Amino acid sequence: MSLSKKHSGHGSAKKMSFGIYLHMPFCRRRCPYCDFYKKVPRANELETFPSLLEKELQARAQNAPFSEREVTSIYFGGGTPSLHPPRDIANLLHTIRRLWPVKSNAEITLEANPGTIGLNEMEALLSCGVNRLSLGIQSFSERKLQLLFRDHDTQESQASFKYARQAGFQNISVDLIYGLPGETADEWRNDLDEVLDIAPEHASLYNLEYHEGTPFYRWREKGKLIPLNDETELEFYLAASDKLTRAGFEHYEISNFARPSLRSHHNLLYWTGSPYLGIGPSAHSYDSKRTRLENPANLDDWKANLRKSEVLTDEQWLLEWLSLRLRLSDGLYYQKTVETVGDSRAEALWLAAKDIDPKFAHVNHEHLALKPRGWFCQNDIILLLYKNIS
């Protein structure tokens, strides 16, 4: 790539933009509820992995659809990216900057687990350009952490958050899980109070799911884990939405809350159908023109470059578009919907939406958006709407 091309996009409003996701799959151990692609590293795997990511970055930069674009967000996800020393992250960022123009205010996020990262590492990450941390706290209850087989405790969570602030991070997100077997309203309320106490800029609250293929799924099948009932989960969800919005957070996506203007820029690319490039095993890419690329969820197959490509059919695209847009509190606007799916589909969509109980959605002639209660049963609502427009 010539120098002139490399620099031409800085600050240019014309250049098409995209985000980069890098999947770093290594974890100290495998949490039994997790269905992400992850592995405990064997000898040297952790050390040699970043050079494989660099190779893939170089290969993707040569070809459409990402070769001519400007990077507006970078996300190191996993797995546990914080198991890598900051110099690995610095080198990867250096490679990205060499291959593409990166917007000066690009959001650069790294996922970190409490207990895997100290103050020095946080300072080093900040100085190499990481400007947002996503901390996998999960809970402030030792009972919940043990039930989830997490390898950190609440003290380590508090310490990680403190180090992040001390290092100078001004945009910190925390992940929490709720709806565990036996979880009480008090336990959940305490988790939310602790979040408000440490005062992050962003919080992602996930309802525990029992994914097929995970130990949690098998334990539930065998009756070793008794899931919480739907009503209690809904109560927890609504209580969280209420508490955090009262405290000034915007509940801008089903599971996500942000201080004003601090929504996750990178994740919004997924939810708005914008282009993103996924690097690493199991990572997905999307060109925003209906082509999805999928890296194998296996280290050896990924190394062998066995990438799958899928062009979404009209029906698949429509269902995905509807599901993603209605995850967001912004929802859909009539005029924009007409421009995207045409007059007759927009009209049919609004007609069907008028029948939704107002407890679940805001609907007026120009705006359609789900409320938290609607998000909780989003799949049913999406299917109902989809049937009317497909």
109/113 with CB nearer ligand SF4: 113
Which of 82, 109, 113, 267 forms a contact with ligand SF4 (CB under 6 A)?
113
Query: What would the two tokens of residue 211 be?
Result: 């994914």
Is-contact 101 15, C-beta < 8 A?
yes
Taking CB under 6 A as the binding criterion, the range among 31-39, 84-92, 211-219, 229-237 that sits at the site for ligand SF4 is 31-39
Residue 138: CB minimum distance to ligand SF4, A: 8
Contacts to ligand SF4 from residues 154-193, by CB under 6 A:
none
Which DSSP category does 227 fall into?
P
Residue 39: CB minimum distance to ligand SF4, A: 9
Taking CB under 6 A as the binding criterion, the range among 27-35, 88-96, 164-172, 240-248 that sits at the site for ligand SF4 is 27-35
Interaction pattern, residues 355-384, with ligand SF4; x per rule: CB under 6 A: ------------------------------
333 sits near ligand SF4 (criterion: CB under 6 A)? no
H helical segments located in 42-85: 45-62
Beta carbons within 8 Å of 90's beta carbon, 6+ residues apart? 124, 128, 129
113/171 with CB nearer ligand SF4: 113
Distance in angstroms between the alpha carbons of the first and the last residue of the chain = 44
Three-class SS state of 229:
coil
Residue 350: CB minimum distance to ligand SF4, A: 40
78 sits near ligand SF4 (criterion: CB under 6 A)? yes
Taking CB under 6 A as the binding criterion, the range among 29-37, 60-68, 242-250, 310-318 that sits at the site for ligand SF4 is 29-37
Q: Rounded to whole angstroms, how far apart are CA atoms 127 and 286?
A: 30
Three-class SS state of 125:
helix
Strands 17-24 and 70-78: parallel
- Listing from the earlier edge strand, what are the strands of the sheet with 367-370? 332-333, 367-370, 361-363
Q: What is the DSSP string of 161-189?
A: HHHHHHHT-S-EEEEEEE--TT--HHHHH
Residue 79: CB minimum distance to ligand SF4, A: 5
Q: How many residues does the chain have?
A: 390
39 sits near ligand SF4 (criterion: CB under 6 A)? no
Q: Examine residue 79 and say whether the peptide bond preceding it is cis (omega within 30 degrees of 0).
A: yes
Q: Applying CB under 6 A, what is the total number of residues that bind ligand SF4? A: 11
Residue 148: CB minimum distance to ligand SF4, A: 8
Residue 37: CB minimum distance to ligand SF4, A: 9
Chain residues binding ligand SF4 by CB under 6 A are 27, 30-31, 34, 36, 38, 78-80, 113, 136
